[in-house]
Amino acid sequence: MEIHVLEQSDLALIAELQPKGWPDMLPAISYYVQSPNSFPVKLIYQNKIIGIGTTIINNNTAWLAHIIIHPDFRNEGFGRIITQKLVKSLFEKNISTIYLIATELGLPVYKKTGFLVETEYLFFKDFKSDKSICVSNNIVPFIDEYKSQILALDYNASGENRIQLIEPNLMECFVYLNGEIVEGFYLPTLGEGMIVANSNIAGIELMKLRMTTKDNIAFPIENKEAADFLHQNNYKEYKTAKRMRLGIKRAWQPQNIYNRIGGNLG
């Protein structure tokens, strides 16, 4: 058994690892292979790739993502081996906080590795995409002068310095303005379309904008305003997922997250 860096040439060899019911994993794995902030690995056993996983580093915090074991080799400890390898590599880089979103299959593995449950995400789906929804006049396209406020909003909400994730997506960004103050932003091209806001009005209005083109949403359980808005419109959460942490607890504001980036970045 060996663990090595996952390379571009390996992508054609990992189709058998695709979990049932997941979106196609290849676009994400291909991104990891090319990104300077991502470090994917492969687990080789009996001369074949039977598992993969990656770390994504945001300065002094990091996420574990796409830890996947071939169905024929599950429940044999291989998931824990990859997880421990990734954690060790991050601690060697002086990363002090590691996060992940756990599937039910992975939850016992992560608990054994020392991860603690920090919160839950609520998942909603099957929105009736309605392009006739009235978009607030307070929502405007991004311009450069909003950048510092957006980064400050995100840092306050996430407790992470995620500038390398946000910057490449700013040209497609929408912001909610109260006068000259940015109270929220929506990044359609970052993951599943992240929404962060420090006021309920901004968050809900940006959710409405997103709902004109998207049919699902996920956010931390602490965001009761977002949940109440969806419940009042007859939508009900259909599943939850645990957000877990290993290392130093960070100050963050989960109630300010109105839609997550994705399962790989919270």
In which band, very low, low, confident or very high, does the pLDDT at 45 lie, cut at 50, 70 and 90? very high
Q: Which residue has the higher pLDDT, 105 or 115?
A: 115
Asked if residue 153 has pLDDT above 80, the reply is yes
Asked if residue 28 has pLDDT above 90, the reply is yes
Residues 140 and 175 sit within 8 Å (Cβ to Cβ): yes
**CA gap 37, 65 in Å, rounded:** 13
According to the model, what pLDDT value does residue 75 have? 87
Query: Residues in the chain, how many?
Result: 266
Residues 182 and 150 sit within 8 Å (Cβ to Cβ): yes
> What is the pTM assigned to this prediction?
0.93
* Residues contacting residue 108 through CB under 8 Å, at least 6 positions apart: none
**CA gap 142, 176 in Å, rounded:** 10
Mean pLDDT of the region 111-137: 88
The average confidence (pLDDT) of the chain is 95
Q: Which residue has the higher pLDDT, 132 or 25?
A: 25
In which band, very low, low, confident or very high, does the pLDDT at 132 lie, cut at 50, 70 and 90? low
Query: Which residue, among 201, 187, 241, has the nearest Cα to 219 in the 3D structure?
Result: 241
According to the model, what pLDDT value does residue 130 have? 58
DSSP 128-181: ---TTSPPPTTEEE--GGGHHHHHHHHHHHHSS--HHHHGGGGGG-EEEEETTE
According to the model, what pLDDT value does residue 150 have? 98
**CA gap 158, 58 in Å, rounded:** 11
Mean pLDDT of the region 222-237: 96
Residues 25 and 57 sit within 8 Å (Cβ to Cβ): no
Record the tokens describing residue 29, joined without a space. Answer: 């794995």
Structural domains of the chain, with CATH: 2-95 (3.40.630.30), 124-259 (3.40.630.90)
- The per-residue pLDDT for range 176-224, each reduced to its tens digit, is 999 999 999 999 999 999 999 999 999 999 999 999 999 999 999 999 9
